Amino acid sequence: AGQARCAPPLPPPPRTPPPPSAPPSSPPDQCAILNTMINLRSVSQSEWCNSNAVRRNDPSVCDKTFIPTTQDSKFMYAHPCKHVGGGSCVLDQGKTFVCPLEAAAPKAQPSCADLAKLGDLGALPTPEWCNWDDMRNRDPLLCTSVYRTMESTGTSFRARWCTFDLSVSQCKLSTDSISCPALPPSPSPASIPAGGVQVISGG
């Protein structure tokens, strides 16, 4: 009788393709620079680089603005504006900022002990909201150093904290609120001088 034939070995299964890599982000210092620039999508009326006469005629004003093009769950992509000859401020599509959105993500709810270290915008001589100050709309650290009392009694208060949304360069009031026992009067934001720089007392 003839010998039984062995089936040929099966080919190895195809390798699982590696997960797509994250886009290379811009150096941290470049993202820090972007954070000091003006997002033209966050102004009162959304604009393009060339839609303002001051930007068309002044390179120093034009070059301090940018337009976000898109974002995903982790990164924001943006092009800066640049001044060119002939009185034009145009979108620089040859340069792209790719910056992480950590600063845009709402921070975890602070504790009552955390609020005791922050300044209360409601305690100012003229109470403010998170986005009322240009400096807070440009500086995430300054933005997240304050909160706003919403309701107060003699023994407790309810507050919402300020969070920074990098995608629109704006300091925003949190959606959630926290209730805490009444805090001592210090620290609280000092009155804001004419230059618009807010000084927060306390540690």
At 181 the pLDDT is 94
In this predicted model, what pLDDT tens digit does every residue of 26-81 receive, in sequence order? Answer: 566 778 788 778 878 765 566 889 988 889 999 998 998 888 877 666 777 889 99
Distance in angstroms between the alpha carbons of the first and the last residue of the chain? 94
- 98 forms bridges with which residues in the sheet? 77
What are the DSSP calls for 96-156, one per residue? Answer: -EEEE-GGGSPPPPPPHHHHTTSEEGGGSSS---GGG-TTTTT-HHHHTTEEEEEEE-SSE
Model pTM score: 0.46
Compute the distance between CA of residue 119 and CA of residue 98 in angstroms, rounded to an integer: 32
Q: Is the confidence at residue 111, as pLDDT, over 80?
A: yes
Burial label, 168 (beta-carbon count in 10 A; 0-12, 13-18, 19+): middle
Stretch among 48-57, 96-105, 162-171 having the lowest mean pLDDT: 96-105
Compute the distance between CA of residue 9 and CA of residue 162 in angstroms, rounded to an integer: 64
Compute the distance between CA of residue 116 and CA of residue 12 in angstroms, rounded to an integer: 62
Task: Report percent pLDDT > 70 for the chain.
Answer: 67
